[in-house]
């Protein structure tokens, strides 16, 4: 619940009991001090029909697992396991296991759903195990063992791939590994055989204990820790050193700094952020910086460097929509980003020449974001554009590509606040404010 910028969590009687049990543990104290669990403070709020209210610090940018890189999902999975192990050590459990309960703050995963903790009832199995496999383990195995990106799966199915889905995706050599036989093939078979059977009481009577959960958790950690992405795509890891990007960086950085000083934005959205160089310029100005890029290896490298920039992996020709229950449970990328300034360096020529979006469509989309934009124009005779259009003839390209035409399009949507030519004049920077 958001109230004047504050984040409040309202608890019913059961939630209050869970919170009191959690707040009394040393585990809660250390996990919040280490930043692995979001801080929470009980507040007196005149809210009817609730037992209590907690206040949390605000997460600067909410991202979803289908916008995460491999290392982000892996770190989130390990955090989920660590917290479950810590909670069980003090008589608590986590009643679900979903990455939607984890957010990235200052480059680190933080568990945000205090309401997921409750007292562990002796003999209870781990209710979140299947969810953990579908939303953490299987997506990671899909990328590590089958060399398939997990993000389209998570975006397409809010519950994640089933054991049968993953079994079908894995190559035979991986399907025969012990972990795959147990977590994937056996789970698929048992789910099919035992659908709808009541087994919790039988497990309790048969002597199920928290030790069995802990053994499973430790084995899962051992399985997940060494996982690395398969060799999917070489991406743009070398982009900075092999192209014009590095060459114009100083000038582009200075131009951006001047615009940051002019607008003093609270939130900067860096579209086509590549290795995050300009996002970090924005971050240094004191803004929340959100880097969006479609290149997973580059964004993953940025994450692993420990950046405090908020990250979202995504294709800007198809950004995350509003989806989930009622089509609103998970708001769209742009609804969550809410930028005060947009940076679009080295971006629009990719949209125009690779994705074939008309220049007028690109600029009206940027204007629709409703805030000032710092944009880089690239002329049709630029060597990079020549590469992008190597197999296109003139009639296959949209009008509006020359600088004069581009400035005409700009004038329809924006007021130009500043411009700067780069290098040999084939590129130029514009600071624009929507009309």
Partner 1 sequence: MIFGYLDAGSGSLILQAILGGAAGILVAFKAWKARLMGKRAVSEAQAETEEQPVTTEH
Interface residues with partner 1 (CB under 8 A) are: 95-96, 98, 100-101, 115-116, 125-131, 133, 182-183, 186-187, 189-200, 202-203, 205-208, 211-213, 215-216, 219, 324-325, 329
For residue 344, the minimal CB distance to partner 1 (Å) is 34
For residue 14, the minimal CB distance to partner 1 (Å) is 10
- What is the β-pairing status of strands 373-378 and 2-3? unpaired
Closer to partner 1 by CB, 15 or 372: give it: 15
Closer to partner 1 by CB, 156 or 233: give it: 156
Closer to partner 1 by CB, 36 or 219: give it: 219
Closer to partner 1 by CB, 207 or 226: give it: 207
Long-range CB pairs of 259-266, under 8 A, 24+ apart, other chains included: 259/341, 259/372, 259/374, 259/417, 259/418, 259/431, 260/285, 260/287, 260/341, 261/285, 262/417, 262/431, 263/340, 263/341, 263/372, 265/339, 265/340, 265/341, 265/371, 265/372, 266/340
Closest by CA position to 375, among listed 305, 272, 294: 272
Classify residue 121 by its DSSP letter: P
Within 197-238, residue ranges assigned H as helices are: 200-205, 210-224
Closer to partner 1 by CB, 206 or 250: give it: 206
Give CA–CA dist 219/237, Å, rounded.
Answer: 33
Give CA–CA dist 70/150, Å, rounded.
Answer: 8
For residue 407, the minimal CB distance to partner 1 (Å) is 47
Number of other CB atoms surrounding residue 418 within 10 Å: 13
For residue 329, the minimal CB distance to partner 1 (Å) is 6
Give CA–CA dist 172/108, Å, rounded.
Answer: 35
For residue 215, the minimal CB distance to partner 1 (Å) is 5
For residue 97, the minimal CB distance to partner 1 (Å) is 9
For residue 228, the minimal CB distance to partner 1 (Å) is 23
Instruction: Please enumerate in sequence order all residues whose Cβ is within 8 A of that of 88, keeping only pairs 6 or more positions apart, or say none.
Output: 120, 210, 213, 214, 217
Tokens of 117: 């903790």
DSSP characters over 49-86: T-SEEEEEPPPS----GGGS-HHHHHHHHHHHHHHHHH
Closer to partner 1 by CB, 189 or 247: give it: 189
For residue 102, the minimal CB distance to partner 1 (Å) is 12
Closer to partner 1 by CB, 193 or 435: give it: 193
Closer to partner 1 by CB, 190 or 411: give it: 190
Closer to partner 1 by CB, 184 or 337: give it: 184
Q: Which residues of 41-50 are buried (b: 16+ CB within 10 A; e: fewer)?
A: eeeeeeeeeb
Closer to partner 1 by CB, 172 or 326: give it: 326
State the maximum Cα–Cα separation within the chain, in Å, rounded to a whole number.
Answer: 79
For residue 362, the minimal CB distance to partner 1 (Å) is 35
Helix, coil or strand: residue 416: strand
Residues in the chain: 435
For residue 139, the minimal CB distance to partner 1 (Å) is 17
């Amino acid at each position: 619940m958001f109230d004047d910028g504050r984040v409040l969590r309202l608890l019913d009687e059961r939630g209050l009991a869970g919170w009191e049990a959690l707040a009394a543990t040393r585990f809660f104290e250390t996990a919040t001090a280490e930043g692995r669990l979001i801080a929470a403070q009980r507040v007196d709020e005149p809210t009817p029909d609730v037992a209590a209210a907690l206040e949390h610090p605000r997460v600067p940018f909410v991202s979803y697992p289908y916008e995460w890189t491999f290392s982000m999902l892996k770190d989130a999975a390990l955090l989920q396991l660590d917290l479950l192990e810590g909670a069980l050590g003090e008589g608590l459990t986590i009643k679900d296991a979903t990455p939607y309960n984890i957010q990235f703050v200052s480059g680190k995963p933080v568990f945000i759903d205090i309401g997921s903790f409750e007292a562990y009832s002796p003999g209870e199995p781990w209710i979140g195990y299947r969810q953990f496999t579908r939303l953490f383990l299987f997506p990671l195995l899909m990328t590590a063992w089958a060399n398939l990106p997990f993000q389209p799966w998570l975006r397409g199915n809010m519950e994640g791939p089933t054991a049968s889905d993953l079994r079908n995706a894995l190559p035979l050599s991986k399907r025969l590994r012990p972990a795959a036989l147990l977590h994937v093939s056996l789970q698929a078979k048992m789910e099919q055989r035992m659908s709808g059977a009541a087994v919790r009481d039988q497990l309790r009577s048969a002597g199920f204990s928290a030790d069995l959960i802990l053994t499973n958790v430790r084995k899962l950690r051992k399985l997940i820790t060494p996982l690395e992405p398969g060799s999917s795509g070489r991406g743009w890891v070398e982009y900075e050193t092999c192209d014009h990007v590095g060459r114009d960086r100083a000038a582009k950085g200075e131009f951006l700094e001047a615009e940051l000083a002019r607008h003093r934005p609270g939130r900067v959205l860096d579209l086509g952020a590549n290795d995050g160089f300009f996002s970090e310029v924005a971050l240094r100005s004191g803004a929340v910086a959100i880097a969006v890029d479609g290149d997973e290896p580059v964004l993953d490298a940025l994450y692993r460097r420990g950046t405090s920039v908020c990250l979202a992996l995504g294709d800007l020709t198809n950004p995350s929509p509003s989806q989930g229950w009622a089509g609103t449970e998970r708001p769209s990328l742009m609804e969550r980003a809410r930028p005060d300034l947009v940076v679009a360096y080295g971006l629009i020529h990719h949209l125009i020449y690779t994705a074939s979006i008309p220049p007028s469509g690109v600029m009206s989309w940027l204007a629709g974001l409703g805030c000032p934009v710092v944009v880089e124009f690239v002329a049709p005779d630029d060597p990079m554009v020549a590469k992008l259009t190597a197999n296109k003839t003139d009639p296959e390209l949209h009008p509006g590509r020359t600088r004069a035409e581009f400035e005409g399009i700009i004038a329809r949507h924006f007021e130009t606040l500043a411009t700067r030519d780069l290098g040999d004049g084939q590129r130029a920077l514009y600071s624009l404010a929507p009309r």
